[in-house]
A and B are shown apart, each in its own frame.
Chain A
């Protein structure tokens, strides 16, 4: 089944948007325009884009503190995202959430969380709701290698396997929690293998390849939609930036980082695929890059010019009245 050019250029656009958004956020952090915490997804684009490409329009996702990529891949609007990171009232969460708490429940993004693994139970519950109502929807639950050692991972996967819930659990294994590598955190580093403890299939895929990710998730989504329960997918990937901006990344070598950037960069690989397979010309690729750069600038401008929420609104949206 061949993908059409528009679809593939669409993947390219999303991956470029994610990369450019994260790079711009890094710059704005350095300029102290964005304050607070921000955890950048650059390097992992193929996972978010490939996984979300496998979803239907009514499917939902849950995200993590490193969630800008998920948000964009699920159709998030760049201006509202940038405004949220800047704490402006025009942001997705009206400035109350910031980088780690963007949600667009109406569009199927049940939100990001600052608690590692915090959305695994939420995704599980969402799957429960879908199943109880007999809907043919699927939940895609993103989390990282660090979350796999948290209690809720075990509790939730057990429950989902037990109740055959339509949840696809996708572990973005970027080899490091904060500074501790999976080798030093996991008794067994094959995270995909953990699935067998919960009566669900588990797979390991190359997270740098959009197609590989998409195919694995498609299979899992089909299973879930058919009522055959959850799947655990381990996508092996890499993040370029440190855990956060103050991270000197002493726990990795520069050689390792260089290797990923020069030989395993997912965008570079995808661009090469498009051009070499003559799906698109390098001019067309450049045109997408240019459009993305403009979109990022426009989003930044929107964010910078937007107002802050007023102090008088402090208690708004706490309870449903």
Chain B
């Protein structure tokens, strides 16, 4: 099977869907001629032209709002917000209009749009360009939230998102674009709401998503050397959440570590942990542990930036110390 970069997988999903459905188009800042800040739309402008690959002015709120309006009229826009940090500028249209219109109008409309963005630390570009903001959007009824960790998942999930009739926030990770993985050239989709067990194990369940999946797998390798076999679950979609896979693993191992790059307070793990203890309390052999980003804006200085986010060592330490 061919190997592709994560950014290629995103681009190929977009190209595939645009070829398949003329209603699909891309718009955002620097997506056309420049090919996207991280290359995820490279080549699309050359193939589909400026009608379907649109550079926009720097107008985040209207990028989200125009996508909403176009979607309500039957198009399938894939709009891009360059940094997850800038979602704040698009928040009103995304949260108050895109996510709510179907419900507020009693089902008389639908908003089949995808809003792509990327987040995460690792490039030393500091607090306003390195956040993981997904927790804010997990709290918005009406919006789906998808965060693939591998090129294979990115391509399959993005195709599904574009074909889905709901407004979906698709968050990539800037440090994943350069990762490589096996990706089929043929068309395939991955359903929403299905997590993926990336590594089997009997001793402890590590739940992660996006870049933290890779971090968790590294931690699992270290743990294996200590005789502890960790099961790593990649959520893939935060909403809809696959509790079935999570609970199956919890029943098997009884020990859970939940990892997220977003900062600890009110992060996505808080929700997952609440649900696990609601639905599988009796299967737990100890308290569930979070390994999250620190509650600080992401600093620029390399050692501080590294200290602000989870690492394989932190995950290993959490498993060893707290679980006994």
Contact = CB atoms under 8 A, between A and B. Distances in A.
Interface of A: 60, 62, 91-97, 101-106, 110-111, 113-115, 118-130, 132-133, 151-152, 155-156, 158-159, 162-163, 316-320
Given A115-B97, A320-B166, A125 B106 contact: no
B232 to A, nearest CB: 28
A162 B55 CA distance: 11
Nearest to B75: A129
Given A129-B74, A320-B164, 16 more contacts: A93-B104, A105-B72, A105-B105, A111-B105, A118-B92, A120-B62, A121-B93, A124-B65, A125-B77, A126-B72, A132-B25, A152-B62, A156-B59, A163-B54, A316-B107, A320-B110
Contacts of B108: 92-93, 103-106
B73 interface: yes
Interface string B45-83: 000000110101101011011111111111101000000
14 contacts: A93-B104, A111-B105, A118-B92, A120-B62, A121-B62, A122-B68, A122-B93, A125-B71, A126-B72, A129-B70, A155-B62, A159-B56, A159-B62, A162-B57
A53 B97 CA distance: 27
Contacts of B72: 105, 110, 122, 125-126
Contact of B106 (A94, A123, A155): A94
Interface of B: 25, 51-52, 54, 56-57, 59, 61-62, 64-75, 77, 92-93, 96-97, 101-110, 112, 141-142, 144, 164-166
A294 to B, nearest CB: 27
Contacts of A93: 104-106, 108
Contact of A121 (B51, B64, B77, B102): B64
B61 A155 contact: yes
Contact of B68 (A125, A132, A151, A163): A125
A149 to B, nearest CB: 14
The 3 closest A-B pairs by CB, nearest first: A121-B65, A125-B69, A94-B106
B242 to A, nearest CB: 16
Most chain A C-beta atoms within 10 Å of own C-beta, residue among B51, B93, B105, B165: B105
Contacts of A92: 105-106, 108
A159 B69 CA distance: 14
Contacts of A129: 69-70, 73-75
A65 B102 CA distance: 17
A94 B68 contact: no
Contacts of B103: 96, 317-318
Nearest to B25: A132
Given A118-B96, A129-B73, A132-B51, A158 B57 contact: yes
Contacts of A118: 65, 92-93, 96-97
A110 B69 contact: yes
Contacts, number: 152
Q: Which of B59, B73, B93 lies at the interface centre, i.e. has the most chain A CB atoms within 10 A of its CB?
A: B73
Chain B CB count within 10 A is highest, among A106, A125, A162, for A125
A120 B144 CA distance: 24
Contacts of A132: 25, 51-52, 70, 75
Contact of A319 (B25, B52, B68, B142): B142
Nearest to A141: B69
Q: Give the most central of B74, B101, B107: most A CB within 10 Å.
A: B101
Contacts of B57: 155, 158-159, 162
Contacts of B92: 115, 118, 152
Contacts of A125: 65-73, 77
Contacts of B166: 319-320
A317 B69 contact: no
Nearest to B92: A115
A97 B73 contact: no
A97 B109 CA distance: 13
B76 to A, nearest CB: 10
A288 B24 CA distance: 48
B66 A156 contact: yes
Could you say which of B107, B112, B141 has the most chain A C-beta atoms within 10 Å of its C-beta?
B107
B157 to A, nearest CB: 17
Contacts of B144: 319
Given A94-B107, A105-B109, A118-B93, A124 B62 contact: yes
A62 B73 CA distance: 12
A65 to B, nearest CB: 12
Contacts of B71: 125
A137 to B, nearest CB: 9
A102 B64 CA distance: 21
B105 A101 contact: yes
B73 A126 contact: yes
Nearest to A137: B73
A105 B74 CA distance: 11
A159 to B, nearest CB: 6
